[in-house]
Structure 1
Amino acid sequence: MALNDPLKKAILNLPTREKDKLLLRLITKDRVLADKLHFELIEGSATVEERKSVIFEHIALLGKTNHSSAGWLMMDLRTLSGEITYHVKITKDKYGEIELLLRMLTTAFATHSEQLSNYNSRTDKCALYMAKKVKLVLARLAKLDEEYYVDFENEVNVLLQYIHSHCTRMYAAQLALPRQWP
């Protein structure tokens, strides 16, 4: 909601004590803003690696979990993807986003290749979801400086091999995903 100029001026002219009270009331209503301020003001950038390691542990659990179908796998992928998105919202860690998404997708393919081997009605939604995530990773990589490409080259190429050889191959072709990167 945009504020009009008279209201902005009135707020700026409030005594400091009243502005502080209003600010604290507003922050408590927005969890993302509160977490972001906590990260920036209290933690600093020192905890980025700790936050990433927690998500890496959750990704490792994905590899250990036995999913009976591609639908259950997709539910876990969506949960992890939400954690990654929240991490980026709070920390603005673009490099970490790519790192985490790559690990999530390669872990899913490596450990659940049986559920993802053949295309059928059960794997359709999961295949589309994973293909779109790969496209997202490639788009995020394109925004990074080229000197970081070396860090991701092997894992991206492994992921592209997976995406073109499992149930996702049809969607990989539709989305024009390359077979080799960069």
Structure 2
Amino acid sequence: MSLHKDPELKEAILNLPPKEKDKLLVRLISKDKMLMKQLHFQLLENEYDLEDRINTLREKLSSLLTPEKSGVKNVPLYSNYRTLTTLLRQASGMINEHEKITKDKFSEVEFRLLILELAFSYYPALFQNSYVAASDKLRRYVSARLKTTLSKYDKLHEDLQFDLKESYDKVVSFSEAHQLL
């Protein structure tokens, strides 16, 4: 049920004494982990903390996709396709969470380009045409990620686009060469 559908309840809540409202608010916030993270970022962190978050996430994403840590080999086998798809989905989830908390569009696009660039540079053989069904799933997933990433890139201010141009060019040229776009 929504408060918009029950205006009487909404009015009653707004008329509660401040101490009661504060108790209810704290109880409700504690039930939503994402809201807690967002509020922590908005209320208790500054631009230096954002920089730390960005650096930490960059390291995690880079580590996640390296061949040594991921266990993925640049060999067109079913297990490699599946594992890389899973890792890219995991990385995308980490980026989604970062964006929901920080609302930082630039770092979101930077990270989306980063994971595509890393996947393309570490595992180029997995993006060749193949008859393995898992290859098709990987290619479709990456193609969808490419479209959303490039769309978000286009929405950035031109100065911010300039900062990401090198990574953007690498991703686009690889994608065009391997018919992912």
> What is the TM-score when the length of structure 2 is the normalising length?
0.87
1:124 has 2:168 as partner: no
Q: Is the 8 A contact 1:39 1:45 kept in 2?
A: no
Equivalence for 1:89: 100
Where does 1:32-181 land on structure 2 (aligned, <5 Å)?
32-61=34-63, 62-64=65-67, 65-68=70-73, 69-120=80-131, 121-166=133-178, 169=179, 171-172=180-181
Q: Is the 8 A contact 1:88 1:94 kept in 2?
A: yes
1:5 equivalent among 7, 17, 23:
7
Q: Is the 8 A contact 1:35 1:90 kept in 2?
A: yes
Equivalence for 1:18: 20
Gaps of 5+ in 1: 173-182
- Equivalent pairs counted in the alignment come to 169
Q: Is the 8 A contact 2:3 2:9 kept in 1?
A: no
Gaps of 5+ in 2: 74-79
Comparing 87-96 with 146-155, greater Cα deviation is found at 146-155
Q: Is the 8 A contact 1:70 1:126 kept in 2?
A: yes
Three-state SS of the structure 1 residue aligned to 2:45 is helix
Q: Is the 8 A contact 1:70 1:116 kept in 2?
A: no
Distance 1:125 1:55 in 2: 26
> What is the TM-score when the length of structure 1 is the normalising length?
0.86
Three-state SS of the structure 1 residue aligned to 2:134 is coil
Per-residue CA distance 1:38-71 (angstroms, 9 max, x = gap): 1111113331121122221122221233314111
Per-residue CA distance 1:114-164 (angstroms, 9 max, x = gap): 222333323111111111111111111121112222112221111011112
Comparing 97-106 with 135-144, greater Cα deviation is found at 135-144
Distance 2:130 2:169 in 1: 22
